[in-house]
Amino acid sequence: MASIDNLDHDGLEQHLKDIIQDLYQIMVQVSTYDTTGLASRQVLSNEIKTLSQSLQSLHATTSSPHATLPSVPPELLEYVENGRNPDIYTREFVELVRRGNQLMRGKCHAFGEFRDVLAREMATAMPELRDDVDMVLRATGGKPIMNGSSGSATGPAGATSSSSLGHVDATSET
């Protein structure tokens, strides 16, 4: 959200006063409007043109690149238009964001654990990919699998893979 500190507040205040005065003049002209008199119609037309010019001037003042007015979410406007308290909207919004953050944190934690289990299983089943698995773990925020960190899972599995590779080689040679 952009800051409105750079705006000329005195100038804006004067523009708003002019607009209020123009609206007041229109209200007076409408209440004293005479359908038969040409003068009443011309005066009212001039007052509306003056209001239009004042509104355009205010818009030009506030729409410069350095001076954008803060935006209000349409949901908040609708909430207030329905007669509800904006503080309650804020509290509900904060609770909704908190719940969403907790859900996302839980998903990230679950996927992290899945990544670690998958990496351990891949390193156990295919020891030749251990360096690649470690690289992926480091890139995704996990801890690399060290040769002795998995304990019995890597040792026997590595031996079994080696012997099974030897068995495949022996079978393919005969």
For residue 167, the number of C-alpha atoms closer than 13 Å in the C-beta half-sphere is 6
* DSSP track, 48-100: HHHHHHHHHHHHHHHTSTT-PPPP--HHHHHHHHTT--HHHHHHHHHHHHHHH
Tell me which of 129 and 9 has the higher pLDDT. Answer: 129
How far apart, in whole angstroms, are the C-alpha atoms of residue 88 and residue 95?
11
Q: How many CB atoms lie within 10 A of CB 78?
A: 11
Q: List, for residues 126-174, the tens digit of each pLDDT value.
A: 999 999 999 999 999 888 887 644 443 333 333 333 333 333 344 444 3
pLDDT tens digits, one per residue of 51-68: 999 998 888 877 765 556
Q: How confident is the model at residue 42 (pLDDT cuts 50, 70, 90)?
A: confident
At 145, give phi and psi (nearest 5°): -80, 120
How many Cβ atoms sit within 10 Å of the Cβ of residue 9?
Answer: 9
Please state, in angstroms and rounded to a whole number, the distance separating the CA atoms of residues 29 and 25.
6
CB 100 within 8 A of CB 34: no
pTM above 0.75, yes or no: no
- What mean pLDDT value characterizes the chain? 78
**Chain position carrying tokens 């839980």:** 106
Size of the chain, expressed as the number of residues it contains:
174
**44: its two tokens:** 């009212």
